[in-house]
């Protein structure tokens, strides 16, 4: 059956397709749209791309129109065939046409079980366990294998790109230390180790009585802090780096964190034995304040005073283990009121006017008061560096890569007495 409207719509759709095809041919194999000159009113690649998008939208509309007209034509043809069959008697049991096959749904609806379900035959029939069942339970269809997630399709579970890192100690101290740079393998500085101040009031020199100036003395000792390297590496297969989106980026952030976390601990408690840095608690000459019978806040104040009096420094921070800070935050007065603020508020993260830095780089029971801003420094020889190579061991023939990260730094404590530990908290 000829359907003019469908033929006309199909012709317009084919014309649009031919126009797009001609543009792509003109652009060449590299699809260089700047070569296209056949589009009227357009002189650049951007305009050609816009024209192609417009043609694509038009083809989408025309395709929908063609689909709709084809559906109309199909309906007309089916209706005509149905009328012909009825007029020829094929729907009244005659054999004028081919037999009409019934669908599984039609067979099911015409079954005796389905008829019983909706005719309510057998309402009140008992089940095997003796209980009465309703019409919805009387469907007696013989089923062999139930199509379920076990015997059919298992539901698809697509993994997201979210990766939750394990719980690790964050970097807690490094940011409190002034950061400098060096081009040397060691940081060398002079420490004033002798200071004799003989300054005194002196009379004017007169005939026979000289006004002699008292002599003072200064002496210096050279101090050295070697640059140390903190490193790590992780073996990974070529396939992991190639096939897992974001794997390289994840390792590029996770390995540097490992290095920074280790450096953070070295700044506080490194033992100084090569290749370790010497951390603040192991520097010779720092002060110590035992808590004894004092309350923890009192012992911390005494350490602050030692830094001021003995170290002649101005403390800038108090480093304390989280559980020790918890005990201070829970202190109450005689009336049961929290000294460090109500639990309904965040409370001050400071003690005796100094900011508190909670860190697990310290052993529980020990706090540290220090003038970090003026008398400590972290010199960087080479910053955090991440590299990937297959030259390690037999990795080349095993299809593996070594992802490594490192940093080269020197940690300096200029004045040990500007640091005081508090023990026994």
Stretch among 45-59, 123-137, 256-270, 298-312 having the lowest mean pLDDT: 123-137
pLDDT band at 139 (very low <50, low <70, confident <90, very high): very low
Query: Which of 91, 18, 96 lies closest to 59, judged by CA?
Result: 18
**Average of pLDDT values for 342-367?**
90
**Average of pLDDT values for 171-175?**
93
Stretch among 36-45, 94-103, 227-236, 346-355 having the lowest mean pLDDT: 94-103
Residue 119 vs residue 257, higher pLDDT: 257
How far, CA to CA in Å, does 5 sit from each of 71, 76, 78, 79, 365?
Answer: 12, 14, 18, 19, 90
CA–CA distance, 136 with 271 (Å, rounded to integer):
79
Residues 237, 399 contacting (CB under 8 angstroms): yes
pLDDT, tens digit (0-9, with 9 covering 90-100), for 127-136: 555 554 454 4
**Average of pLDDT values for 328-349?**
86
May I ask the CATH architecture of the domain 174-181+229-423?
2-Layer Sandwich (3.30)
Residues 316, 370 contacting (CB under 8 angstroms): yes
Three-state SS sequence of 167-178: CCCCCCCHHHCC
CA–CA distance, 121 with 128 (Å, rounded to integer):
18
The residues facing 411 across adjacent strands are 378
CA–CA distance, 58 with 52 (Å, rounded to integer):
10
Residue 395, token pair as written in the block: 């990795």
Concatenated DSSP letters of 282-321:
GSTT-EEEE-TTS-HHHHHHHHHHHHHHTS-----EEEE-
Contacts of 240 (CB under 8 A, 6+ apart): 247
Cis peptide before 275 (omega within 30 of 0): yes
Q: What are phi and psi of 407, to 5 degrees?
A: -150, 145
CA–CA distance, 177 with 359 (Å, rounded to integer):
14
pLDDT in the model for residue 138: 46
pLDDT in the model for residue 234: 95
pLDDT in the model for residue 343: 86
CA–CA distance, 328 with 297 (Å, rounded to integer):
7
Q: Render the burial of 63-77: b for 16+ CB within 10 Å, e for the rest.
A: eebbeebeeeeeeee
pLDDT in the model for residue 144: 56
Angle (nearest 5°) at CA 171 between 165 and 176: 160
Residues 283, 416 contacting (CB under 8 angstroms): yes
User: Residue ranges of the domains in the chain?
Assistant: 4-79, 174-181+229-423
Read off the DSSP letter of residue 194.
E
Question: Taking 50 as the threshold, does the pLDDT of residue 202 lie above it?
Answer: yes
Stretch among 6-10, 100-104, 218-222 having the lowest mean pLDDT: 100-104
pLDDT in the model for residue 206: 82
pTM for this entry: 0.63
**Average of pLDDT values for 113-123?**
53
Q: What are phi and psi of 301, to 5 degrees?
A: -65, -40
Read off the DSSP letter of residue 246.
T
CA–CA distance, 197 with 99 (Å, rounded to integer):
123
């Amino acid at each position: 059956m000829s359907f003019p409207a469908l033929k006309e719509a199909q012709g317009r759709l084919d014309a649009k397709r031919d126009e797009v095809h001609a543009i792509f041919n003109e652009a060449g194999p590299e699809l260089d749209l700047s070569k296209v000159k056949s589009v009227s009113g357009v002189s650049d690649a951007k305009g050609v791309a816009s024209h192609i998008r417009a043609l694509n939208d038009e083809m989408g509309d025309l395709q929908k129109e063609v689909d709709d007209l084809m559906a109309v034509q199909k309906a007309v043809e089916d209706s005509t065939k149905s009328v012909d069959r009825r007029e020829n008697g094929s729907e009244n049991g005659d054999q004028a046409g081919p037999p009409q096959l019934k669908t599984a749904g039609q067979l099911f609806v015409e079954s005796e079980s389905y008829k019983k379900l909706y005719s309510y035959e057998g309402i009140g029939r008992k089940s095997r366990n003796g209980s009465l069942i309703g019409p919805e339970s009387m469907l007696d269809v013989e089923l062999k294998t139930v199509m379920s997630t076990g015997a059919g399709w298992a539901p698809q579970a697509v993994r997201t790109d979210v990766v939750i890192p394990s719980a690790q100690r964050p970097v807690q101290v490094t940011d409190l230390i002034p950061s400098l740079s060096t081009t040397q393998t060691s940081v060398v500085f002079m420490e004033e180790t002798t200071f004799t101040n003989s300054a005194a009031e002196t009379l004017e020199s007169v005939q026979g009585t000289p006004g002699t100036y008292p002599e003072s003395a200064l002496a210096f000792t050279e101090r050295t802090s070697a640059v140390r390297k903190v490193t790590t590496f992780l073996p990974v297969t070529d396939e992991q780096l190639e096939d897992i989106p974001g794997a390289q980026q994840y390792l590029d952030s996770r390995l540097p964190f490992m290095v920074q976390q280790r450096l953070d601990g070295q700044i506080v408690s490194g033992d100084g034995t090569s290749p370790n840095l010497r951390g603040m608690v192991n520097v010779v000459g720092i002060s110590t304040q035992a808590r004894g019978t004092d309350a923890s806040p009192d012992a911390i104040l005494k350490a602050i005073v030692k830094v001021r009096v003995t170290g002649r420094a101005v403390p800038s921070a108090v480093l304390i283990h989280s559980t020790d800070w918890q005990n201070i935050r829970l202190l109450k007065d005689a009336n049961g009121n929290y000294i460090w603020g109500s639990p309904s508020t965040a409370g001050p993260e400071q003690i005796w006017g100094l900011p508190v830095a909670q860190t697990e780089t310290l052993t529980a029971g020990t706090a540290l008061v220090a003038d970090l801003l003026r008398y400590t420094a972290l010199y960087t020889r080479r910053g955090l560096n991440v590299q990937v190579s297959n030259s390690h061991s037999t990795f080349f023939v095993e299809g593996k890569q070594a992802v490594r990260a490192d940093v080269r730094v020197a940690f300096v404590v200029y004045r040990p007495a500007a640091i005081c530990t508090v023990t026994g908290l």
